[in-house]
């Protein structure tokens, strides 16, 4: 029996001697989309698989789809900051006015490429806006594919067609855009759009093609209006891939390196490219249903551009009132978009 006792004691001592770095880390990844949507399948799952593989299974994600971890979409930024969740992908614009510097990429007619917008937004964030995200490590940032107009019962063909319509918008700047175009804006996350359409709370919404099939919105919309492709897209909304800073800081050096190797400029651009690639499949769902899709002429698109132009001055004035140099920030964002334009 003595050798057996010695063996057991040795095994116990060895177990106690295992360093903390060998312990498994489970990261709670909370987000807004249903499981089959593009973001969970093409961005979140591959990223989680990659960090699991590169950490030899020591770091894994616990993915909570469709806000199943509790709270509401606008609360995700604080849930990350406060450590309720470890990881998320969300839209800072869901919390109106909270992240004014990053709103610059949500101004109308800025870019028509999510990949270009991602490259520019990452550089701009590092240079100007990391202080907007205390307690948060931003792993990537980007904008979605081109945003368009979608309506239930009335085709938007001209600027005048917006009059009298209640239109959903995702962010403060998009609300302002719809108001300038003549609609009554109604702010809400994408998860609320289907219910609002079914109840008649809204007549339509602005969204990129990518997300429409995930929430079956092509089944509730008959008409879709795209702006002239030679102009920048009507609108974009910005995303962040965010991690609780304290959780990151608690990781051993080798696991931090895994996170570092799977974040930053390259990840931002890769995700932007994924959003661009998702545009055609999203549009096809509406086409296959027989919905009407029209593209505005360059001349009509220019009318929309001119109607929305005051929003730039308003944003600059808003930033100036907060003690920032709004004109310089806008110039910086525009120059970065030009720098990365394909």
pLDDT at 342: 73
pLDDT at 18: 40
CATH number of 24-145+236-277: 3.40.190.170
What's the predicted TM-score (pTM) here? 0.92
Answer whether 24-145+236-277 and 147-235+282-340 agree in fold: yes
* Beta-ladder partners of 277: none
Domain ranges of the chain: 24-145+236-277, 147-235+282-340
Which residues of the chain fall below pLDDT 50?
1-5, 7-21
pLDDT at 315: 98
pLDDT at 87: 99
User: Phi/psi zone of residue 131: left (φ > 0), alpha (ψ -120 to 50 degrees), beta?
Assistant: alpha
Architecture of domain 147-235+282-340: 3-Layer(aba) Sandwich (3.40)
pLDDT at 16: 43
Burial of 141 (0-12, 13-18, 19+ CB in 10 A): buried
pLDDT at 13: 43
pLDDT at 17: 40
- Residues 150-195 have pLDDT tens digits of 999 999 999 999 999 999 999 999 999 999 999 999 999 999 999 9
């Amino acid at each position: 029996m003595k050798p057996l006792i010695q063996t057991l004691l040795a095994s116990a001592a060895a177990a106690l001697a295992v360093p903390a770095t060998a312990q498994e880390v489970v990261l709670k990844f909370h987000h807004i989309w249903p499981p089959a949507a593009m973001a969970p399948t093409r961005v979140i799952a591959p990223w989680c698989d990659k960090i699991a593989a590169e950490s030899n299974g020591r770091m894994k994600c616990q993915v909570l789809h469709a806000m199943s971890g509790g709270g509401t979409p606008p609360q995700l930024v604080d849930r990350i900051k406060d450590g309720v969740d470890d990881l998320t992908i969300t839209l800072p614009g869901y919390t109106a006015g909270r992240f004014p510097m990053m709103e610059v990429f949500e101004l109308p007619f800025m870019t028509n490429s999510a990949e270009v917008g991602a490259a520019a937004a990452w550089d701009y964030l590092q240079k100007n806006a990391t202080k907007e995200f205390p307690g948060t490590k931003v792993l990537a940032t980007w904008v979605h594919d081109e945003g368009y107009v979608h309506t239930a019962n009335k085709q938007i063909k001209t600027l005048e067609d917006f009059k009298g319509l209640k239109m959903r918008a995702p962010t403060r700047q998009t609300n302002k855009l719809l108001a300038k175009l003549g609609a009554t804006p109604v702010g809400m996350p994408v998860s609320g759009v289907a219910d609002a359409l079914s109840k008649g709370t809204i007549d339509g919404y602005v969204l990129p093609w990518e997300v429409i099939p995930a929430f079956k919105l092509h089944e509730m919309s008959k008409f879709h209006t795209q702006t002239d492709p030679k102009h920048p897209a009507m609108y974009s909304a910005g995303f962040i891939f965010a991690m609780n800073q304290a959780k990151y800081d608690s990781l051993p050096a080798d696991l931090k390196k895994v996170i570092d190797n799977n974040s930053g400029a390259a990840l931002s651009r890769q995700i932007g490219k994924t959003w661009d690639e998702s545009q055609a499949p999203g549009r096809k769902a509406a086409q296959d249903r027989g919905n009407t899709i029209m593209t505005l002429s360059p001349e009509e698109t220019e009318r929309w551009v001119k109607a929305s132009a005051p929003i730039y001055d308003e944003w600059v004035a808003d930033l100036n009132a907060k003690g920032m140099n709004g004109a310089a920030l806008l110039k910086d964002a525009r120059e970065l978009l030009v720098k990365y334009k394909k």
